[in-house]
Structure 1
C-alpha cells in the first residue's frame, strides 16, 4: 500500500488529468484540504474584505485548520475519489 504522501501526489495527478467539473463549494473544499495538507495551520492574516476570492479561500482553509496534515491529505483523497472515474488507480 502506498504511503499517504504517495497517494496524495497520485490523486493530484489524476485530478489534473480528469479535470472534473467542480462547483465553487467543491473547489473551496479541495483548496482548504490542500492548504492544510501542504502548509499546515492557517496562521495568515485574513485578506481585505474587498478581496472576496481571497476571503473565501482563507475561510475554507481556516475551517479545517484543526486537522493534522495527514488527516487533511486523507480528506483530500476521499473527496477526490468522488470525482474520479471508478477505474482510477490509486
Structure 2
C-alpha cells in the first residue's frame, strides 16, 4: 500500500467520525472525490429528473472526469483534514 493509499484509507475512516455533519455541498464533494479515487471516471447513465439526489451525485462525480485517482485521493485527504480542523463546512 502506497503512502497516499494509507492516507486515503485513514481519511475515509476519520470522515465518518467528524463531530459535525458537513454541509450538503461538502458531502457531494466528498462523495465525488471518493468515487473518482476508487472507481475512476463516472460510469453508467445519468439518473432521471425524478432522482434528484442521484442526479446531483452523478453531476458532482462527472465534474471530476479526467482527474487521476491519486490526485482525487490527495484532494479527499486534504478536504477531510480541513473538516477536522474546522476550516471547511
Q: Unpaired runs of 5+ in structure 2?
A: none
| 8 Å CA contact retained: 1:33, 1:73 | yes
Q: Please say if 1:53 is aligned against 2:56.
A: no
Counterpart Cα distance in 2 of 1:31 and 1:51? 16
1:33 aligns with 2:33: yes
Counterpart of 2:21 in structure 1 is: 21
1:13-45 CA-to-partner distances (Å, cap 9, x unmatched) read: 111222432111000000110000000011311
Q: How far has the Cα of 1:65 moved from its partner?
A: 1.6
TM-score w.r.t. length of structure 1: 0.86
> Secondary structure of the residue that 1:83 maps to in structure 2?
helix
CA RMSD of aligned residues (A): 1.6
What SS is found at the alignment partner of 2:17? helix
**Unmatched 5+ stretches in structure 1:** none
Name the residue aligned to 1:71. Answer: 71
The 3 A distance-change label for structure 1 pair 18 and 44 is same
